[in-house]
Amino acid sequence: MSHLLVLFAIAAILLRIAMLAVSIRHERALRQNGAVEVGAANTTVLALTHVAFYLAAIAEGALRSAPLDLVSWAGIGLYAFGMMMLLIVVRLLGKFWTVKLILARDHALVTHPLFRRVRHPNYFLNILPELVGFALAFHAFVTLIVGLALYAVPLTIRIRQEEDAMRTRFDAY
């Protein structure tokens, strides 16, 4: 596997750890103000599936001796788009963004045009491009197909949980 792909994997993992630190900081502040979590068990499954996807893609790339070619660069580009969208979503949601589904007492409905145009931009503009791009970068086609199918289960549950929570909380949702 290309040294640049190894560096890409390290950078991607470090970026995810940094975002997890942001999430933990936000979660602590929200819980101190009486926020409640919805769907904790599914969040755990979703997080484990995310980690497993990364590890499987890296392992498959190593087994394939993935070259750094046009497919890899397209994957890295798609991954970068997903990360850019993550940063935008975190900025728009501010203190309410976490990897968990947490509702604060003072939770405000975000009505930014991005959220009006794309339902669940964190999932459809961040996570899905991130995972597809990550798998493509490593030529991890088995991980892409099998991993996305497996990931779709807890992600669909999360989206339904979030929809229910938002409809219950906000009449305008």
d(CA 49, CA 56): 10
Record the pTM: 0.93
Residue range 92-125, pLDDT digits in tens? 999 999 999 999 888 888 889 999 899 899 999 9
Q: Helix (H, G, I), strand (E, B), or coil: what is residue 118?
A: coil
What totals of helices (H) and strands (E) does the chain contain, helices first?
8, 2
Residue range 120-172, pLDDT digits in tens? 999 999 999 999 999 999 999 999 999 999 999 999 999 999 999 988 888 77
Give the residue extent of every domain in the chain.
3-169
User: Topology of domain 3-169, per CATH?
Assistant: Four Helix Bundle (Hemerythrin (Met), subunit A) (1.20.120)
- Characterise 120 by phi-psi region: left (phi > 0), alpha (psi -120 to 50), beta (else): left
